[in-house]
Amino acid sequence: ANFSEQVVESFPSDISTGIYYGWACVGNGDVHKMVLSVGWNPLYKNIKKSVETHIIHTFKEDFYGEILSIVIIGYIRPEKNFDSLEALISAIQEDIEEAKRQLDLPEHLKLKEDNFFHLPEGKIVNNH
User: What CATH number matches the domain at 5-117, 2.40.160.10, 2.60.40.1930, 2.40.30.30, 3.40.50.300?
Assistant: 2.40.30.30
**Closest alpha carbon to 117 in 73, 72, 74, 70:** 70
Total-model pTM:
0.83
**Closest alpha carbon to 105 in 16, 33, 44, 55:** 33
Looking at residue 128, its pLDDT comes to 46
Looking at residue 45, its pLDDT comes to 63
Domain ranges of the chain: 5-117
Would you say 83 and 42 are in contact if contact means Cβ atoms under 8 Å apart?
Answer: no
Q: Is residue 66 annotated as part of the catalytic site, yes or no?
A: no
Looking at residue 62, its pLDDT comes to 84
Active-site pick, 5, 9, 52, 86: 52
The identity of residue 125, as a single letter, is V
pLDDT in tens, 20-77: 999 999 988 899 999 999 988 655 566 678 889 999 998 888 888 888 899 999 999 9
| Residue 90 pLDDT level (bands cut at 50, 70, 90) | very high
Question: For residue 25, with 0-12 CB atoms within 10 Å meaning exposed, 13-18 middle and 19 or more buried, which class applies?
Answer: buried
